Amino acid sequence: MDIPAEIPFHSLEAGGLAVALYAVLWCLFWLYFRRIAKPPRVSLHLFALSLAAWSAGRFLFPQAVWVGHAGAAAVFSAALFLWVLIDRFICVGWLINRRQVPVPTILRQLGAVVVVLMAVAAIMKWGYQLELTGLLATSGIAAIILGFAMQDLLSNVIAGFSIHMTRAYRVGDWLLLGEKGDRAEVTEINWRSTRFVNNDQVSFELPNSDIVKNRIVNLNYPTAEHAIRLQVGLDYDVPPALAKEAILAAAAHAQGVMESPGPVVLLRDFGESAVIYELRVWMRHARLYNAACDDIRTALWYELNRRGIRIPFPIRSIDLRTPNVPEALSTARGRAAELVGSGSALDCLTPEEIAGLVGKGKLALYGPREALVTRGEEGSSMFVILEGAVEVFGKSAEGPRLVLARLGPGECFGEQSLFTGEPRNATVRAESDTLVLEIRKADLSPLIEANPELAERLGDLLERRKKAWEEALNREAGSKAESEVADPAPQSGLAHRIRAFFGQG
């Protein structure tokens, strides 16, 4: 094939030499960098291409003007490629991955900007013989215009640098933002802005300059454990001691709430229609804020409902509505007599005795995951489940916590404490909304006084139930040895303890 006359032969040689040098450089660098996680690509392409073009032009066209421009491009791409190598091997490979030293992204980006500016300044001074001082002096108006245009950008960059130097917050910290105190997690800090993700998994950005102008509340410093405050208004007729006791009971088992330091309730203010109490609890982490507040407020509703404490309406309102009593509460007492007499610890009573006992008992509604009784606490009452279900937790001889049973409507628990006054030997927690009938010592005392033989019947029944309970505990714990099951007390001894506990000894 004949080469056209208008294409010089040296141009074809230069092009072929440049392509060959580019391919050689690319292959050499790629064989070495392909083993690292993030090998340089764009900067390597630019460096190999500009160096190949400059080398070919320098060899075949030493006097051409474009060779100098190619050399300037080679110097610039070499500086950029050198910084990428430093960032990959020193910042990421050695400091971050091996030494576990966090290197802020803004510092890495700032280093790249400094390297690029130094390369441009060197090319302009030694490649094109341009003095930067003279150039800046002759373009003062342009510099002023550029300065005004970049005012916000520079303020954000300086604010971002200040955030990294003072370590006001880091990636993974939770902050309170704005006047409303919205909670959000820091996911990225760059040279211009900070990116957040809130509890709704919505991502948003705020300029660094706007953040440093306001108060920064870091919920992860000095530790992720911090206190939150919730306010609730209760009726003026409720004594403060009883109100505080109810609020503390509701907060005891909330998700994410720490046991130590324990919850604290303060009387905050006397409002127009309610006494304002403030609950302060300690949380393990800010991401549990919504779940903890929901658990506390839900448990508080049930606790106040059981205690007959009202969350009042404004005084100036007129409430003419009928009580919105759930159907389960309004009809429960009518069904309770049948459930108490079938399968409970009181099935040895006559129908007349059961009817009198149910009439004096107390109906109580518990919410999901609420503890009805706790192992080791004092008590002198038993519970009959009317609706819902509960889980019974105990401890084996080796110590681990075991789920002993799941009880449903008609079943009961706590009879040992009612008959003998012993502390609770298990923890019982509601699985869902659970309606129970609580039978107390004061409700059972008149029956034992009127019928002394009732203590003998209760002692015999309690002996059988206690033995079955201990066998279930050992079976759950994996113990098959009969010797490990404690021998129950004789029937006469239990009857004597029942009479002594009810003052009939």
> Mean pLDDT, 10 residues at a time, over the chain (505 residues)?
45 63 69 63 71 71 72 79 75 69 66 76 72 56 57 71 76 84 86 85 86 83 87 90 92 84 91 90 87 90 90 65 58 72 65 80 88 88 88 70 82 82 87 88 80 73 71 59 43 67 67
Residues 257, 259, 263: CA angle, nearest 5 degrees: 70
Q: Which residues pair with 437 in a beta bridge?
A: 363, 384
pTM score, two decimals? 0.57
Q: Which two structure tokens, joined as six digits, stand for 405?
A: 């049973």
- CATH label, 166-218, candidates 3.30.10.20, 2.30.30.60, 1.10.1060.10, 3.40.50.720: 2.30.30.60
Domain ranges of the chain: 9-138, 166-218, 226-307, 331-501
Helices (H) and strands (E) counted in the chain, each on its own, are: 16, 16
Q: Distance between alpha carbon 274 and the CA centroid of its chain, in Å? A: 32
Written as one string, the DSSP assignment of 124-148 is IIIIS---HHHHHHHTHHHHHHHHH
Locus of tokens 């005392």 = 445
pLDDT of residue 296: 92
- Between strands 217-218 and 174-177, the pairing is antiparallel
Among candidates 154, 202, 146, 194, which has minimal Cα distance to 172? 194
Mean pLDDT of the chain: 76
pLDDT at res. 248: 92
Q: Which helix (H) or strand (E) holds 182?
A: strand 182-189
Instruction: Return the pLDDT at 217.
Output: 86
**Residue 157 main-chain phi, psi, to 5 deg:** -65, -45
Q: Long-range contacts: 77-81, Cβ < 8 Å, 24+? A: 77/43, 77/46, 77/47, 77/49, 77/50, 77/51, 78/47, 78/51, 79/115, 79/116, 79/118, 79/119, 80/43, 80/46, 80/47, 80/112, 80/115, 80/116, 80/119, 81/40, 81/43, 81/44, 81/46, 81/47
Q: Are 43 and 77 in contact (CB under 8 A)?
A: yes
Q: What pLDDT is recorded for position 3?
A: 43
H/E element, 407: strand 401-407
Residue 274, Cβ density class (10 Å: 0-12 exposed, 13-18 middle, ≥19 buried): buried
For 239, residues 6+ apart whose C-beta sits below 8 A from its C-beta are: none
How many Å apart are CA 214 and CA 177, to the nearest integer?
9
| Domain 226-307, CATH class in plain words | alpha beta
Q: Are 386 and 332 in contact (CB under 8 A)?
A: yes
| 31-90 confidence digits (pLDDT tens) | 666 666 566 667 767 777 777 777 777 766 666 777 777 777 778 877 877 777 777 777
User: Would strands 381-387 and 412-413 be described as parallel, antiparallel, or unpaired?
Assistant: antiparallel
Q: Give per-residue pLDDT as tens, 186-216.
A: 988 877 788 899 888 888 888 888 888 888 8
Using DSSP's 3-state secondary structure scheme, residue 38 falls into coil
In angstroms, rounded to a whole number, what is the distance separating the alpha carbons of residues 414 and 444?
Answer: 14
Q: Supply the Cα-derived Rg of the chain in whole angstroms.
A: 40
Contacts of 493 by beta carbon, 8 Å cutoff, 6+ apart: 459
HSE-CB of 498 using CA atoms within 13 angstroms: 29
Burial of 374 (0-12, 13-18, 19+ CB in 10 A): middle
Rounded Cα gap, residues 457 and 472, in angstroms: 23
Q: What is the CATH class of 331-501?
A: mainly beta
